[in-house]
């Protein structure tokens, strides 16, 4: 997902830069007096409401600044909650954090960091999503102190989906012990490079992905299917620049989309929906949208994923700092385009200035009316509902 580590600014310079960026982009401080954090109401009146009704009631009481904070997941620098990371979480009321190797030394240290992050959360009394990319194989964190599961390809070669469930459960248990609540796995792509896919055929990937989701759910950890609508055919790296998949619609329907379609159908048919999200890739699919990468495409996120496939959960973007986005869009604009396309959770994983620009860009678009209140609230409700249902 995200691989670069940016240089950390000194606090004084960082604070000044953030203030002036906030002033220029929004015309006022991003944190106004009416945006003071409020605890989520869990009194008797709330207890008789459905999860949807509870989420709607909480969102109704939130300021626009609080709402925008829920949409953004950031990376931080360092191995402890310092002044800069605390500033980001409190000033912008950020709703989620993702950790990388730069943040992780030992399971004990990571748990202490995650607990400190959670205690610092100030957004309407809601917990943070605290996430990690722990796929296994080449994509795993803190490998020496937290041995990763095998690569998906290795697990797929066993021919036994129960192995995917076992490894997912074991990994999720270890992550929960470190106070993570969201893992950006499993990969639902067909034939992805570096051993990241269970197989290159749709039936096998579908069976193993279903088992991996069950393993995460058994352990009580949120999971995430990625990278919609399927990254396996990409021949280059979205970290660097634009990647285009030239397959026609039929090929995508008969291959890449099969695991996503199957998991969404299974989810919708279940009486109790188990917790997982979908992550959209930054790859271009001319057969689906000739103008926008998937993560910024209304045709792919809204029409295909929401309307045709019937997915009603949280849609996350891949990291907006990847070259496929950052070489072609400003950070102020990229977050706005993602929200307008139908995304809910916007990842900006490394640079505090970029994270601030994304936040302020979205807030400015909300206050100007470019992002309608109804559109904003739809995403915030999905996020709040997921936190109410799946986070302890």
Quote the CA–CA distance of 345 and 69 in Å, as a whole number.
10
Q: Name the residue among 327, 138, 317, 319 with its Cα closest to residue 240.
A: 327
Quote the CA–CA distance of 343 and 391 in Å, as a whole number.
21
Host H or E run for residue 347: strand 346-348
Own/partner pairs, 105-110, CB within 8 angstroms, 24+ separation:
105/79, 105/142, 105/145, 106/142, 106/145, 107/142, 107/145, 107/146, 107/174, 107/177, 107/178, 109/79, 109/80, 110/142, 110/178, 110/179
Cβ 205 vs Cβ 197: under 8 Å: yes
Quote the CA–CA distance of 197 and 187 in Å, as a whole number.
6
Catalytically annotated residues: 239, 318
Quote the CA–CA distance of 177 and 180 in Å, as a whole number.
7
Quote the CA–CA distance of 182 and 347 in Å, as a whole number.
13
Q: Are strands 96-98 and 129-132 parallel, antiparallel or unpaired?
A: parallel
């Amino acid at each position: 997902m995200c691989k670069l580590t940016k240089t950390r600014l000194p606090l004084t310079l960082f604070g000044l830069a953030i203030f002036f960026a906030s002033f220029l982009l929004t015309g006022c401080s991003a944190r106004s007096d009416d945006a003071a954090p409020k605890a989520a109401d869990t009194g008797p009146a709330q207890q008789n409401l459905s999860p949807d009704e509870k989420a709607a009631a909480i969102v109704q009481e939130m300021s626009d600044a609080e709402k925008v904070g829920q949409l953004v997941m950031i990376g931080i620098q360092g191995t402890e909650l310092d002044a800069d990371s605390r500033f980001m979480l409190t000033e912008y009321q950020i709703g989620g954090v993702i950790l990388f190797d730069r943040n992780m030394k030992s399971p004990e240290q990571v748990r202490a960091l995650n607990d400190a992050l959670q205690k610092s959360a100030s957004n309407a009394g809601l917990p943070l999503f605290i996430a990690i990319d722990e796929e296994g194989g080449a994509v795993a964190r803190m490998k020496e102190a937290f041995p990763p599961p095998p690569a998906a390809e290795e697990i797929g070669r066993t021919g036994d989906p129960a192995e995917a469930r076992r490894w997912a459960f074991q990994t999720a248990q270890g992550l929960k012990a470190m106070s993570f609540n969201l893992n950006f796995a499993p990969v639902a792509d067909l034939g992805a490079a570096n051993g990241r896919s269970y197989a290159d055929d749709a039936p096998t990937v579908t069976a193993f992905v279903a088992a991996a989701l069950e393993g995460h759910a058994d352990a009580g950890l949120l999971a995430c299917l990625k990278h919609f609508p399927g990254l396996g055919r990409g021949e280059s790296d979205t970290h660097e620049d634009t990647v285009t998949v030239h397959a026609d619609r039929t090929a995508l329907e008969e291959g890449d989309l099969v695991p996503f379609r199957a998991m969404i159908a299974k989810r919708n048919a279940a009486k109790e929906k188990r917790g997982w999200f979908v992550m959209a890739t930054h790859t271009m699919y001319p057969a689906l949208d000739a103008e926008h990468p998937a993560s910024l495409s209304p045709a792919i996120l809204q029409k295909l994923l929401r309307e045709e496939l019937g997915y009603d959960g949280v849609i996350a973007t891949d990291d907006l700092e990847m070259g496929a986005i950052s070489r072609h869009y400003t950070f102020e604009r990229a977050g706005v385009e993602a929200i307008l396309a139908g995304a809910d959770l916007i990842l900006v994983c490394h640079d505090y200035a970029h994270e601030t620009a994304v936040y302020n860009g979205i807030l400015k678009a909300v206050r100007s009316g470019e992002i309608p209140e109804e559109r904003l609230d739809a995403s915030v409700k999905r996020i709040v509902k997921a936190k109410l249902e799946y986070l302890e």
